Amino acid sequence: MSQEPPHYRVSRIARELEAQGRDVIHMEIGDPELDTDPRIIDAMCRAAREGHTHYAPARGVKPLLERLVDYMESFIKPGFDLSTENIVVTPGSKVAIYTALRLLRPRRIYVVEPMWGLYHSFASEIGIEVVPIPTRMEDGWEPRGAIEGIGKGDAIAVVNPNNPTGTILSEEAVEMIVEAVSRADAYILADEVYFDLIYRGSMTSFLSMGYEKVLAFYTFSKNFVMSGFRVGWVVSPSRELANNFLNRLRLIVGGPPPFSQYGAAEALTLREVLERNRRFYIETLGYSVDRLREMGFKFVEPSAGMYIFAKPPVEDMDGVEFTYRLLEEEAVALAPGTGFGNYPEYVRLTTALKKERLEEAFNRMERFLERL
């Protein structure tokens, strides 16, 4: 049985406090406080009225698949001839990751930590051994040294740009991982959800490295603020692997509703929406960085995404205790670092809140720290 991820437990307690009348500020879950662009909603509703309410094609609706090819090539230079046959539309990224693990059933999964916690939960449920590859803030959250022990049929999971740290792996680190994995004839699960939300530097995609045993995951949840639409997609350089993934997905759940997919297809024509959302993330991330530094938090400034992974300025208290005391005393919900690996001194903060809520959250944190 999989265990409840720590940030899910925090969120559950936060909802219980809200039911008691407390005004909780949610920084533990990555659901942006932005509205979906009305044109995306209109396209979804229009598709439903036009009859796109039945089973969708298993791989995804044609307009979305075709636009995804163009969209990805504008951000990533794949090391293969990308076509719709390399892509599968999925009901968000969670289902995609779970399906991939069910399909591959590796004996071991190596995880570059800190790592989005559901990989650990899914592996535990399926019975896959997790082998951590820890990184440190002092190294910029970059892997150091060779990756040892990966065998044939094993898998390695990498979130890049990273959740929770917001950092981007160097090209050298990506090359090192690909070399180790290809030598073992293993699989790469490349979680590249934040590939179009990069604010500083650039990213080397695992799809650009000429290695075929890759499943890469993407979603519309953050970039186009469509978390409730439940639309994501998976890409593999190997059409055979993409087709195997598609067949397994059909067994488990199938694809997203077709009208949601038409909304996603419309989103890909609205680059100004992506840019507007990027400006929001840059502004809220920058404000959060300044406030946390003023309070003495230690962290690597993020280059992408919407999170900060930080060490609170407290003595004789780890990040777990800090999280639960802050929630109880000031009604601010964070995600403890233990949800992302063996990082009990850290917490993760979602920064994609409206400015007034961010300001109130940090004011509450300051009050809490002043009492310690």
Mapping DSSP onto H, E and C, the string for the chain reads CCCCCHHHHHHHHHHHHHHCCCCCEECCCCCCCCCCCHHHHHHHHHHHHCCCCCCCCCCCCHHHHHHHHHHHHHHCCCCCCCCHHHEEEECHHHHHHHHHHHHHCCCEEEEEECCCCHHHHHHHHHCCEEEEEECCHHHCCCCCCCCCCCCCCCEEEEECCCCCCCCCCCHHHHHHHHHHHHHHCCEEEEECCCCCCECCCCCCCHHHCCCCCEEEEEECCCCCCCHHHCCEEEECCCHHHHHHHHHHHHHHCCCCCHHHHHHHHHHCCCHHHHHHHHHHHHHHHHHHHHHHHHHCCECCCCCECCEEEEECCCCCCCHHHHHHHHHHHHCEECEEHHHHCCCCCCEEEECCCCHHHHHHHHHHHHHHHHHC
**Which CATH fold topology does 39-270 show?**
Aspartate Aminotransferase; domain 2 (3.40.640)
For residue 1, the model assigns a pLDDT of: 42
- Partners of 108 in beta bridges: 129
φ, ψ dihedrals at 112, nearest 5°: -80, 110
| Cα torsion through 21, 22, 23, 28, rounded to 10 | -120
6-36+272-371 against 39-270: fold identical = no
Instruction: Give tens-digit pLDDT for 166-189.
Output: 999 999 999 999 999 999 999 999
Against a cut of 0.75, is the pTM above it? yes
The rounded distance, in Å, linking the Cα atoms of 198 and 305 is: 7
Residue partners of 123: CB distance under 8 A and separation at least 6: 101, 109, 129, 130
Instruction: Please say whether the beta carbons of 93 and 266 come within 8 A.
Output: no
The rounded distance, in Å, linking the Cα atoms of 237 and 124 is: 28
Residue partners of 303: CB distance under 8 A and separation at least 6: 161, 166, 167, 168, 198, 199, 200, 201
The rounded distance, in Å, linking the Cα atoms of 207 and 211 is: 7
- Report DSSP state, residue 226: -
Residue ranges covered by each domain of the chain = 6-36+272-371, 39-270
- Partners of 88 in beta bridges: 234
Amino acid symbol at 141:
W
Q: What are the pLDDT tens digits along the chain (372 aa)?
A: 446 778 788 989 999 999 999 999 999 998 999 999 999 999 999 999 999 999 999 999 999 999 999 999 999 999 999 999 999 999 999 999 999 999 999 999 999 999 998 899 999 999 999 999 999 999 999 999 888 999 999 999 999 999 999 999 999 999 999 999 999 999 999 999 999 999 999 999 999 999 999 999 999 999 999 999 999 999 999 999 999 999 999 998 989 999 999 999 999 999 999 999 999 999 999 999 999 999 999 999 999 999 999 999 999 999 999 999 999 999 999 999 999 999 999 999 999 999 999 999 999 999 999 998
- Length of the chain equals 372
φ, ψ dihedrals at 356, nearest 5°: -65, -30
CATH number assigned to the domain with residue range 6-36+272-371, chosen from the 4 options 3.90.1150.10, 1.25.40.10, 3.40.50.300, 3.40.50.2300 = 3.90.1150.10
